[in-house]
Structure formats: structure tokens, C-alpha cells
Chain A
Amino acid sequence: MKRIQHWQSIAIVLLLAVFAGCIKDDFIDDRVDPQLRIANKVDSLAINTSYQFEEVFFNNVGLAESAEVLWKSSDPAVVSITPTGLAEALAPGRALITLELDSNEKVLRDTVLVSVGETTVMQASSINGEIVTTSSYVLEGDFTLTEIDGNLELSLGDNYRATSALPGLFVYLTNNSNSIASAKEIAAVKVFSGAHSYTVENSSLSDYSYILYYCKPFNVKVGEGKIQ
């Protein structure tokens, strides 16, 4: 009888070992506002030239999707535009080009004011912003994101500081700062203070709306910088 009691006790412990540690689900609230953008904005178009505008649409989790959009010009006599975004600079003046998407939730819109002149001039290719922590870990500093020859250069300023206590800190570009599911991984963070930079190949300013700092081992967001 004593022996049976011993084995019963041991069996309980072993059963606990066998059934312990099942992988379950953690849910994350990753809903974001859908975004519609004109991908290649210009300040001016050379008269009597054409220009193909392009659109990008990110859905409610920040994933790029194709969408049936509408292109409009406020003054077709100055700049005409086709349903596919092909613009013609017809006469001197200015026209507001509007990109619209009537989604189920609301009408999304982006605009650009285009002048018709002697040359075609792309919009500024640099955006400044600020990295802020969204956790208890130190993360702060100014950034500049610059488009150079089809690549992006992310430059962190002298006032940049990040914790070195956190394992597996990575930096990303994304349209959903709550998740790295659709994010572009730039690099593991190796610099924890002062100015430094990263190069992101084959990317443009319109591709992303956030810089995201994320701890991979903990699978948790550490901080972000909004690209505006």
C-alpha cells in the first residue's frame, strides 16, 4: 500500500510535467486607421508634359492593398488627370490633385497642390521627427528620414538615447506601430547614444508612417517615431 502511494505521488508530478507549458494565444490590438497616400508627389510640372501619379493604400492593420481609387483635378484646364492617375500639364497655373477612396468606414483622401511651370520639381525628400518611448525603457531623440536615389537614410541625432539593458532591441519601418507583422526590419540596435544612421534600400518616404523600436525576445513595442 505504501509503495502505491509513492508511485501515485510521483505520477502526479510527472503528469504535471507532461501537461505543463502548452502554447496558447496572446491577442494584440493591432487595428489602425487605413491610410491612402499619393506616393510620388510633385510641387510643379513642366508644361506640356505628362506625369504618372501613383497611390498606396494601407488597410486597417497597416498592410498594403490594392484599391479602387478616384483621381480628380480642381482645374482640368491647367492639369488634367485620368482615372489611373496620369496627369497632363496643359496650361500655366495651379491645380489641386485629389486622390480619394470610398472605403466602407469613411472616405480617405490625399491631395497635392501642383503648379505648372517650366520644370518638373519633386516634393521635398526629407522628413524630420522625434523618437519617443512607449514603454518604461529609455528611448528618445530626433530623427531625419531622407530619400536618396530610391533608398532611405534614417539618421538619429546627437540627442538620441536608448536603453542598453533590453535584450534584442530592433528598429523597423512600418505602417502599424503595434506590430511587426508587416514591418520592414532595418537592423538590431547596436548604438545606444549619439548620432548614427541606417540605410534602407529600395524604399521611399511614402512607404511607411512609423519608425518602430521593438524588443524581439519579449515581442513588445518599446518606442516609435511618427513619420509626418
Chain B
Amino acid sequence: MKNIILLIGFSISAQVLLAGGPWPQAKGDFYLKLSQWWVVFDQHYTDQGLLDPNITTGLHNTNFYAEYGLGSNLTAVVNAPIFSRNYSNNLVSNTTQDVLIAGEAINSVGDIDLAVKYSFATGKIPLSATLLFGLPTGKTNGGTQGNLQTGDGEFNQMISLDAGFGGGENVPWYVSASVGFNNRTNQFSDEIRGGLEAGLGLFNKRLWLNSRLQMVESLRNGATAETTTSTSIFANNSEYLSLGLEVNLNITDRMGVSASVAGALRGEIIAAAPSYSVGVFYTGK
């Protein structure tokens, strides 16, 4: 089961801490991960769920992620984009080759997430609850158009419930499900979030494969988008259903590397391009 716990940690993307699974870290155990996550998109899902083009925009995050077992049932989690870069390309005339609109970029710390996970049921189907605080530590209005962002500019509080189970001795596996409510401030709409995850350990648990289905539904009880200039993944009233795949390879007993890709199966007001992540992780006591 410990391997399962570690793998759940790997699955945390740069943007959400939702798909965490119900398994806590043992007291004094920790898991660290340094990763690079990025998405580059030249089209987006409109409010009709259709695809429209846009200037090529990229968001690159260097993330530090950590879990620490405060007690046998309580785990502290931090997800910190310690370096976040948002940029847009130059818009160049095909006729004159002149730069019509110069590209821009901003660099800063991204929005930091702090969370605690409490495991309140063990057994065949363990359950846990997570309380997450999303701190608005990123930039919200960079560039001359004010549309470059490394954060959404709001302090959100999300509570989520996780359940899961696993098995297999030689070929371990697990599945987990989660549901959460994300209370957002600063006129952002609240969200219902959900996720399903499954993982499989191969080659004597040295290689883990997992897949993740994540859903975000906006309650549309905040301001509409015209009051903001945000694009990319920080726009208000964004919705999506995404599917992600991840590979984790344990190089040593304590250290490994991971790579993942995720993309939206449907979306509204959200980037329409796959996101990628590569990273290194370390576990210890």
C-alpha cells in the first residue's frame, strides 16, 4: 500500500491537488517532487464548447511538491510553482513580415496550494478528507494587455473527499475516486470537482502506470468573463473533462522520475491543448 500512497503523490498535477486518493503518508514520512509542467495552446474551447483559434500562448511551471506525514492520519501537502512563466507569441503579418503585436512574457511565482489530508476511515475502502487553500501568489495582469497570468488572483478553499481501494501482490493496482467543492473568491465562480484514477505497478513495482479522469464544473455564480482579461487556464467559469496518463519509474528505492500528459476531452473557456509534465521525486523518512 505504501507504493500506492507514493504513486498518488506523483499524480498531483501542477494545477490541482484533487486527485490525491484516500491514503495518507505515515507519520514522519515525506515525498518530494520537482517537476516541470507546461501547456502551449493556439486554440481554446469557447463558451459553446467549440474550438476557436488564438495567439499561441504558453504557461510553464517549475513545481515543488511535498507531502509530509504529520501523524498516522494527517498529511500536510504543499504544491508550489516556484517559477511560472506565461508568454504569448509575436503576431506577424504574412504580407509584410512586420510584427503587428509584439509577444510578451511574465515570470513569477505561481499560485501556491497548501492542504491537509485527514484519513478518517481505513480498511478495505479507506476514506479521507482534504482541505486545500489556494493562495493568490501569482501575477494576474501582466503584459500590456493585462492578459498574462501566473495565477488567478483569488483565494480559494476546497474541500474534497477521497475513497479508493487496491490489491495485487505481484502486480499491485489501485483505483480511487474523489469529489470536491471549490469555494472561490474575488467574483470567481465556485466549482464542483471530481476525479477517477487507476494505477498499475509493473516490474516488481519499479514502473507505475496510471490514468486519471478529472472534471471541473463551474456553478457560474461569479462574474462573467467580460470583466476580466484572463485567458489560458485562469479564466473564470472554465469547465473541462480531462484525461491524463502518467509513467513513474523508480530508479532507486527512494528516487524516481515521472512523465505525464493530459488533455481535455471537452471544455469551455479553457485552453485546448495537451499539458505535459516531467519530474524527479524523492521519498524518505
Q: How far is the CA of A66 from the CA of B235 in the complex (A)?
A: 44
B95 within 8 A of A: yes
Name the one of B42, B50, B145, B280 contacting A13, with C-beta atoms under 8 angstroms.
Answer: B280
B93 within 8 A of A: yes
Q: Collect the chain A residues with CB atoms within 8 Å of residue B38's CB.
A: 20-21
Most buried by B among A12, A136, A192: A136
B54 in contact with A219 (CB, 8 Å): yes
B204 within 8 A of A: no
Number of interface residues of B (CB under 8 A): 60
**Interface residues of B, dominant DSSP:** strand
A165 in contact with B257 (CB, 8 Å): no
Name the one of B42, B52, B279, B280 contacting A137, with C-beta atoms under 8 angstroms.
Answer: B52
Most buried by B among A24, A28, A61, A217: A217
Q: Which of A146-163 contact B (CB under 8 A)?
A: 163
Name the one of A2, A12, A164 contacting B226, with C-beta atoms under 8 angstroms.
Answer: A164
The stretch of A71-79, A84-92, A109-117, A166-174 in contact with B is A166-174
Give chain B nearest CB distance to A45 CB in angstroms.
39
Which residues does A use to contact B, with CB under 8 Å?
2, 5-6, 9-10, 12-14, 16-17, 20-31, 60-61, 135-138, 163-169, 179-181, 189-190, 192, 215-220
Q: How far is the CA of A17 from the CA of B228 in the complex (A)?
A: 28
Name the one of A13, A21, A26, A215 contacting B278, with C-beta atoms under 8 angstroms.
Answer: A13
A220 in contact with B96 (CB, 8 Å): no
Most buried by B among A24, A29, A60, A137: A24
Give chain A nearest CB distance to B68 CB in angstroms.
19
Name the one of B42, B85, B255 contacting A26, with C-beta atoms under 8 angstroms.
Answer: B42
B187 within 8 A of A: no
Give chain A nearest CB distance to B249 CB in angstroms.
11
Which residues does B use to contact A, with CB under 8 Å?
34-36, 38, 42, 44, 46-48, 50-56, 58, 60, 62, 83, 85, 87-96, 98-101, 103-105, 145-147, 224-226, 228-231, 235, 237, 251-252, 255, 257, 268-269, 278-280, 282
A20/B85 contact (C-beta < 8 A), A29-B94, A179-B100, A216-B147 known = yes
Q: Collect the chain B residues with CB atoms within 8 Å of residue A21's CB.
A: 38, 58, 60, 85, 87, 105
Q: How far is the CA of A12 from the CA of B60 in the complex (A)?
A: 15
